[in-house]
Structure 1
Amino acid sequence: MGEEQDLDEAILRLLGAQEITDQAVLQRLLAAEGHAPSQSTLSRHLKRLSIQKVRGRYQRVEPGAAGPTQGVRVLEAPPNMLVLKTAPGYAQVVGVMVDRAPDIPGLAGTVAGDDTVFIAVRDPSLLAEVRSQVERLLRLVP
């Protein structure tokens, strides 16, 4: 069990120290430290540690997050902005979902970071309507 834990610690340390975009690169870095996991062993460890490739690089994600809309919070920022808070790594996916949604009247567009999406609304009088449509789109309300 000690070797398994050592491998887990090495994986977490390496991913925290640098951006790793490929499992083969991670395998080489681990080998340089005296670990030699096969690809299937490495994949099993990544899954157990809740590490996924997000936006092109491997990183730890919130365990149990079912998808990009899991746990999204919607905040109003009057007069004409909504702010969506997502799990780390999901803001861009959620932003694209909102941008591509048909028939959200008053939606000007979105700007997304890692865990935050800003939604611009053309007319401040439509803020509540856009919020309602976005919440329905993301299935935050029935």
Structure 2
Amino acid sequence: MPAHLDEVILRLLEVNEITDQAVLQRLLTEEGFAPSQSTLSRHLKRLSIQKVSGRYQRVEPGPSEPAQAVNVLEVPPNLLVLKTAPGYAQVVAVMVDRAPDIPGLAGTVAGDDTIFIAVRDPSLLAEVRDQVERLLRLTP
């Protein structure tokens, strides 16, 4: 979809009270666009458009620090689970994976707001947790 789609979405939201993505898709079709539901959702997210008070509108994203929103849970014998703010898990996982000084780290798997960290040796679980928390500045 061309970038022009974003402009059309914004214009349609300004002149219409849109309460459902299906309605927005129909209006876009009338404008000559045919985005899938998943494509439309990605555009809405990128444009900071959310449903507020029952209708879609652009919202200004507030300041957010992903490291401040991370909770770390130990899941013995060799797993850490990190919960982040929505949309930050992949960024935090890359930071952890690229950190040079985390001995025992096997790797990470990230979703939207959850990261699983595998530790090679269960005896290193607490040490890896400490290193991850320091990396994310959750502890001094």
Matched, 1:29 2:9: yes
- Distance in 1, matches of 2:121 and 2:60, equals 35
Task: Flag the 1:62–1:70 CA change in 2: closer, same or farther, 3 A.
Answer: farther
CA distance, structure 1, for counterparts of residue 123 and residue 102 of structure 2:
14
How far residue 62 of structure 1 moved from its aligned partner, in angstroms, is 10
Matches within 5 A, 1:2-17: none
State the match for 2:99 in structure 1.
101
**Cα offset, 1:65, TM superposition:** 4.4
Match of 2:109 in 1: 111
Mapped contact 1:62–1:87 kept (Cα < 8 A) = no
SS in 2 for 1:135: helix
TM-score, structure 2 as length reference: 0.63
Q: How far is 1:103 from its partner?
A: 1.6
Q: 1:33 to 1:65 in 2, by over 3 A?
A: closer
The residue type paired with residue 97 of structure 2 is D
Distance 1:85 1:22, change over 3 A: farther
In the TM superposition, 1:1-142 aligns within 5 A as 24-32=4-12, 35=15, 57-58=45-46, 59=48, 64-142=62-140
Change (3 A) 1:129 1:23: same
Equivalent residue, structure 2, for 1:5? none
Q: Is there any run of 5+ residues in structure 2 with no aligned partner, and where?
A: 17-41, 51-58
Please state how far the C-alpha of 1:24 moved relative to its aligned partner.
3.8
TM-score, structure 1 normalization? 0.62
Q: 1:87 to 1:79 in 2, by over 3 A?
A: same
Please, what is the CA RMSD of the aligned residues? 3.0
